[in-house]
Structure 1
Amino acid sequence: MSGIGPPEPGEGTRAWDDRQPEAAFPAGRTRALLAARYARHRRIAFALAAAAVLSGGGGYLYATRPQQPPPHPPHRPAQAPYPAQVVDVTYLDARRPPAGAPPRSFSFTVLVSVASGPPVTVIRVGQPYAGLALTTNPPTPFRTRANSARKITITMHVTDCEKAPRDAGLPFLDVTLRNTRAIQTQSFIPGARYAQDLSHALEVACSNRSR
């Protein structure tokens, strides 16, 4: 005989229930049989529970537990802005050079303001033209706090008229700044009035004419 599974029952047969009524067994044997069935059921139940835990079935119990709130991320102080982002240089006007300045000198005033963040130190103020020397009052380095401004007097001295421009088309000032974030050199263009006043001052200084 070949095939899979038990043979089908023949004609005129009927399936028997292998469970026998308790009356078919003596009283002592009935109690022993019930105890054996109970023990067998307990073993099956324990085996199923263990299999459920090993296969991840116990995840339901874990998922139903109240979840702990995630820990708060550590507080990080806000990083200071770069100094060039908060500093502005505004041209005010032309001035007479201070007493004791060398010949062929002229002065301007600018306003250095700091919008926000930590204090900013102006380390150096420069200009791009050969043939000119520059000093500031107050002298660098000087410090300016946030939400404040300082008036700076810039005095230029012509050292070589051949190298100085006769017509400063778009002059700028190089300002080196420092705060707790970084050190930066930023070029500021004070504007058209500064260009006109600088060109006029250079013309006067290098033509031996008085204003």
Structure 2
Amino acid sequence: MLFKAIGRGLIKAATTGGFKEGFSSIMGLEESLRYLAAGKTSDAKATLSIAYSQDGTNKEAILAIAVINQYYEHNNYAAEIIYQEIIQAELADDKNKWSWFAHKHLAIIKALEGNDIEADNNFKRAIFKNRSDAELIYKYGLFCQIKGRNDEATQYYRDAISLDPRYAADVSMTSPNIEYLKRINIENTFQMN
């Protein structure tokens, strides 16, 4: 219960103001979320702590701390509620532009749960709201490829590479292996970059 209270407090602080819009801790944040998706919560928390200490006002790091705290209670539903609250806050206040982040991570949660329709919808909403997140677009390409939608996957891979050429190496490793990727557990696939 304490983690839930802390998580809600952090969400409120992050969505209602006062924090700068910097993204200096993104790499540590993404690494921590990959650990989290793999069930390595202690590694996730350690990595996120480093990211947070580098920039204690980073909204993404603050939101992710709240979500990791929810996962520590093995309560994915609570994490989903937090993301839904972010989305609702944006609907209520047009100045809150953080729902893309919530949609991005809801998509991953839903994909890990095997809820393909909701995962797909949340990926699309996240990309619609933030077309500059190469990692998001790359992961949606992976999702499409796993689901056998190879033409869509190719287009999303191209978009990700155009935003960040470093994704070309990841795509070159995955594209020839479409049949192999279909058999890989989706949780492991989201760990790939």
**TM-score (structure 2 length as normaliser):** 0.23
Going by fraction, where is strand more abundant, 1 or 2? 1
**TM-score (structure 1 length as normaliser):** 0.22
Going by fraction, where is helix more abundant, 1 or 2? 2
